[in-house]
């Protein structure tokens, strides 16, 4: 019953937070105005700026920000026990993550849909624009290099997920064409798309499709990475309504319904037991594992818990989605709370379910594995948890982190009487689909950043969307394809960068908070609820990265086996952050109450005949 109480308590907490804290931010602080003309209407171009209903934008936004981050982060962080991970997810997502995402979205909408990197040049100082955009370019290169390899590896772990993921692409194009015909209801095509996608999961590994999946699963990782980056190029340059937006929308239908199945399965297992023997659902992990009880090889909980769980609590990548794509699509400013604040809380709830799957779902039973071979025995309870979380090294691999969630969540779904094979396939599709939506959204965001950076430094050819996208995928492809170290195969370089992801993500969140802080400071708005998270997210990730660079035998630069690729990315990120903070320190005293040069907030109102609403 504690497992069920935690799940239901988290759900209630998020609903209360949305209708209290979120509403206060929307009405009293950001003063959302449904009559203000949004960028999607003012700058509508049918390609990037496309007025869209909030339900569709929510689907795009949620699947783009989530990715595999709220799965692999919490699935590893429970190695320190379930209590620290749960507390950071609950309070981090409400007090820090949701404020960050919501604030980034509003500031971007008030600046004609520009990214936070572009906006920073007016809020802080002109040099800050180039510095911030450079950090964004580094961060998105890491995301693109990693997530292509993540998807390739998920396909290898769970071949049955390949066909269902590929089927989503033609379905998305059909939905996009349907959406583009204004005035048509989405209800029927949404239900049909959801039915087809679940049918593809149920039958996707049947007969000839099994051979198809196995053949593609055997492709080299480098080949998969190249194919996925080419797909990302296409998704980036096409009008957003053709592929990116509808694919994220139908993915959200499947992913949210799959989450619903996990929740219902958890309830059934908690109330009625699991399997024929009615095994009780209990938390199999210790509340806290630190000090003498810490698992071998695990770093200290503070500060590493807060960078291990990035997505699910607070992630800087979200500011790019808020200010890069979602701000260009919302057709009403009033929808910003639902999309910005609501999506982050939904991701927080996903992270809670991941934690419960890993500390309670696993305990319902997993196969015993010795030296890579299944023995035929089944581990339950604390034995199952400790088999997966015996040490930092055994729990830290991608297969281990994804596998812990897939097995635990799969047990919840099996509690509904669904076959185990279907449950595992569905969770494999769940993970791969989340990663794919992050990949194609990240490529489009990198295209925006490259274009803005090229405009800032005067490289006109790269302001073209095709040229900018090609640069984005080529750089990411090179990083992903290089060997991760001496004797390692090509195609491991991107995964080598995975340790950078958490700290870089969190630093980016702190810098986004800095832009929001300056925007509010210039307008005389209250600052405390942004200033405290900003300080936390600037200091803590930098501390974690410094430890990773210089402390201990595994240090990237001074350890026994240094990694100069990780070290170079880490030093460059910290140096750019320090420079931006210096620019911010100099600009802060003279910015109070002074609107930034060339403020872009539109005075126009949707009702152009209304008082104070001149025509655009």
Q: Is 388 a domain residue?
A: yes
Distance CA 203, CA 138 (A): 40
Q: Cβ–Cβ contacts within 10 Å for residue 203, how many?
A: 12
Q: Is 504 a domain residue?
A: no
Q: Is 498 a domain residue?
A: no
Candidates 159, 165, 6, 150; CA nearest to 69 is 150
CATH number of the domain bearing residue 475: 1.10.4160
Of all residues in the chain, what percent carry a pLDDT higher than 90? 50
Residue 183 is encoded by which pair of tokens?
């005035």
Helix (H, G, I), strand (E, B), or coil: what is residue 184?
coil
171 φ/ψ angles, rounded to the nearest 5 degrees = -60, -40
Candidates 331, 277, 388; CA nearest to 36 is 331
pLDDT digits (tens, 9 = 90+) for 3-28: 999 999 999 999 999 999 999 999 99
What is the chain's alpha carbon radius of gyration, rounded to the nearest angstrom? 23
Q: Is 165 a domain residue?
A: yes
Q: Cβ–Cβ contacts within 10 Å for residue 612, how many?
A: 8
Q: Of the given ranges (94-98, 337-341, 367-371, 574-578), which has the lowest mean pLDDT?
A: 367-371
Torsion sign (Cα): 355, 402, 135, 349 = negative
The count of structural domains within the chain is 1
> Which residues pair with residue 370 across a beta bridge?
373
Whole domain around residue 97: which residue ranges?
Answer: 2-483+513-547+570-591
Instruction: Identify whether the C-beta of residue 18 lies closer than 8 Å to the C-beta of residue 342.
Output: yes
Provide the pLDDT confidence category of residue 322 given band limits of 50, 70 and 90.
very high
pLDDT digits (tens, 9 = 90+) for 36-57: 999 999 999 988 999 999 999 9
Q: What share of the chain is helix, strand, coil (3-state, %, to 5)?
A: 70, 5, 25
Residue entry with tokens 């004797």: 487
Q: For position 486, what pLDDT does the model report?
A: 58
Q: Which residue has the higher pLDDT, 477 or 610?
A: 477
| Residues comprising the chain, all counted | 616
pLDDT digits (tens, 9 = 90+) for 498-555: 677 778 888 889 999 999 999 999 999 999 999 999 999 999 999 999 999 998 888 8
182: CB partners within 8 A, 6+ apart = none
Q: Is 144 a domain residue?
A: yes
Provide the pLDDT confidence category of residue 465 given band limits of 50, 70 and 90.
very high
Instruction: Identify whether the C-beta of residue 287 lies closer than 8 Å to the C-beta of residue 2.
Output: no
Q: Is 601 a domain residue?
A: no
Distance CA 44, CA 138 (A): 29
312: CB partners within 8 A, 6+ apart = 69, 70, 73, 74, 89, 92, 93, 97, 347, 348, 350, 351, 354
Instruction: Identify whether the C-beta of residue 245 lies closer than 8 Å to the C-beta of residue 330.
Output: no
Residue 324 is encoded by which pair of tokens?
């890069």
Stretch (H or E) spanning 369: strand 366-370
pLDDT at 611 over 50: no
Instruction: Identify whether the C-beta of residue 509 lies closer than 8 Å to the C-beta of residue 69.
Output: no
First and final C-alpha spacing in the chain: 58
Helix (H, G, I), strand (E, B), or coil: what is residue 49?
coil
Q: Which residue has the higher pLDDT, 270 or 67?
A: 270
Name the average pLDDT for the chain. 88
Q: Is 557 a domain residue?
A: no
pLDDT at 389 over 80: yes
Q: For position 72, what pLDDT does the model report?
A: 87
Instruction: Identify whether the C-beta of residue 88 lies closer than 8 Å to the C-beta of residue 502.
Output: no
Q: Is 251 a domain residue?
A: yes
Distance CA 6, CA 354 (A): 12
């Amino acid at each position: 019953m504690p497992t069920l109480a935690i799940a239901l308590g988290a759900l209630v907490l998020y609903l209360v937070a949305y209708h209290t804290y979120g509403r206060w931010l929307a009405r009293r602080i950001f003063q959302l105005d449904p009559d203000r003309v949004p960028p999607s209407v003012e700058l509508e171009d049918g390609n990037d700026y496309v007025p869209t209903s909030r339900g569709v934008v929510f689907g795009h936004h949620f699947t783009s920000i989530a990715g595999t981050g709220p799965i692999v982060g919490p699935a590893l962080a429970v190695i320190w026990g379930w209590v620290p991970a749960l507390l950071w997810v609950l309070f981090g997502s409400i007090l820090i993550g949701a404020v960050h995402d919501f604030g980034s979205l509003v500031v971007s909408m008030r600046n004609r849909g520009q990214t936070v990197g572009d906006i920073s040049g007016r809020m802080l100082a002109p040099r800050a624009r180039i510095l911030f955009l450079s950090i964004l370019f580094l961060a998105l290169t890491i995301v693109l290099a990693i997530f292509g390899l993540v998807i390739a590896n998920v396909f290898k772990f769970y071949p049955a997920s390949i066909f269902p993921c590929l089927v989503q692409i033609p379905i998305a194009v059909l939905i996009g064409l349907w959406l583009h015909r204004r005035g048509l209801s989405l209800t029927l095509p949404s239900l049909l798309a959801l039915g087809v996608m679940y049918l593809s999961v149920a039958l996707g590994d049947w007969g000839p499709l099994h051979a198809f999946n196995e053949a593609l699963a055997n492709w080299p990782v480098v080949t998969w990475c190249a194919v996925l980056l080419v797909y990302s190029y296409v998704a980036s340059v096409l009008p957003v309504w053709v592929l990116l937006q509808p694919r994220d929308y139908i993915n959200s239908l499947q992913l949210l319904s799959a989450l619903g199945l996990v929740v219902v399965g958890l309830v059934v297992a908690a109330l009625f037991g699991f399997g024929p023997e009615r095994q009780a659902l209990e938390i199999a992990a210790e509340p806290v594992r630190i000090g003498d009880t810490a698992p071998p090889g695990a770093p200290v909980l503070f500060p590493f818990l807060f960078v291990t769980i990035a997505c699910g609590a607070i992630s800087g990548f979200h500011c790019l989605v808020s200010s890069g794509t979602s701000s260009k699509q919302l057709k009403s400013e009033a929808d910003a709370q639902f999309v910005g604040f609501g999506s982050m809380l939904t991701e927080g709830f996903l992270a809670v379910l991941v934690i419960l799957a890993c500390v309670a779902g696993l305990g319902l039973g997993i196969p015993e594995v010795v030296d890579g071979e299944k023995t035929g025995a089944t581990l339950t309870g604390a034995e199952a948890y400790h088999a997966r979380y015996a040490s930092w090294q055994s729990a830290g691999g991608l297969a281990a982190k994804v596998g812990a969630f897939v097995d635990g969540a799969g047990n919840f779904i099996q509690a509904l009487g669904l076959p185990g094979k279907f449950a595992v396939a569905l969770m494999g599709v769940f993970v791969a689909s989340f990663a794919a939506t992050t990949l194609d959204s990240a490529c489009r965001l990198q295209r925006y950043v490259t274009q803005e950076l090229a405009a800032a430094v005067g490289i006109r050819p790269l302001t073209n969307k095709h040229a900018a996208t090609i640069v984005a995928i080529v750089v990411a492809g090179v990083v992903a394809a290089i060997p991760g170290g001496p004797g390692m195969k090509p195609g491991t370089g991107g995964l080598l960068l995975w340790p950078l992801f958490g700290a870089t993500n969190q630093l980016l969140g702190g810098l986004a908070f800095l832009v929001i802080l300056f925007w509010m400071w210039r307008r005389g708005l209250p600052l405390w609820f942004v200033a405290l998270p900003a300080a936390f997210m600037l200091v803590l990730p930098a501390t974690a990265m410094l430890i990773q660079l210089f402390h201990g035998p595994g240090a990237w630069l001074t350890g026994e086996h240094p990694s100069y690729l990780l070290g170079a990315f880490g030093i460059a990120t910290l140096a750019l952050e320090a420079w931006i903070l210096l620019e911010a320190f100099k600009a802060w005293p003279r910015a109070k109450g002074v609107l930034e040069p060339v403020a872009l907030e539109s005075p126009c109102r949707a009702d152009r005949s209304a008082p104070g609403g001149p025509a655009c």
